Amino acid sequence: MIKINLTINGKAKTFTIKPDELLIDVLRKEGYKGVKRGCDEGTCGACTIILNGRAVKSCILFAAQAHEGSITTIEGIGTRDHPHPIQQAFVDEGVVQCGFCIPGLIISAKTLLDQNPAPTKEEVKKALDGNLCRCTGYSGQIKAVLDAAAVMRGEK
Ligand code: FES
Ligand code: FES
């Protein structure tokens, strides 16, 4: 067993883990159930989190690789009563159906807007292209991210 330190949604935590334990498992065991398990092989994006400012897939990372890292999960982005503008835009646009893909999509969108507050449609598409959604067809989600960006810039 090894010890790792992670800061998750602003809280410093220490974990005692097996060296080959995956980050998704450590996070879900700790109660971050918004980190969804889909394909388990790095293709669907359901398990996406922000690690040190980058959107990464937690099912293909060993937890030990995140040692001393700063993580944001969907639990750290808005609440039911005070949703993040991206979450609000997804609801307003009606692009949450089964919902399984949504945490990963919101995380990828937030990572983009943190770095690029005024993305083009093509840049949004590129940022979301690692997140699969089987329900909605993507165009509304892309529009929701562009709308949220405008709100965050104070233009809406
Ligand atoms: S569960 Fe990680 S990419 Fe699909
Ligand atoms: S809303 Fe169902 S998979 Fe995206």
pLDDT interval class at 38 (50, 70, 90): very high
Structure tokens at 97: 């159906």
**106-131 pLDDT per residue, tens:** 999 999 999 999 999 999 999 999 99
Query: Ligand 2 pocket, 101 CB below 6 A?
Result: yes
Distance 9 CA to ligand 1 centre (A): 20
Residue nearest ligand 2's atom 4 by CA = 133
C-beta 136 within 6 A of ligand 2: yes
Residue 156 scores a pLDDT above 90: no
Tell me the domains of the chain and their CATH numbers: 2-76 (3.10.20.30), 85-152 (1.10.150.120)
Q: How far is 32 from 25, CA to CA, in rounded Å?
A: 10
- Reported pTM: 0.96
Categorize the per-residue pLDDT at 15 as very low, low, confident or very high, splitting at 50, 70 and 90: very high
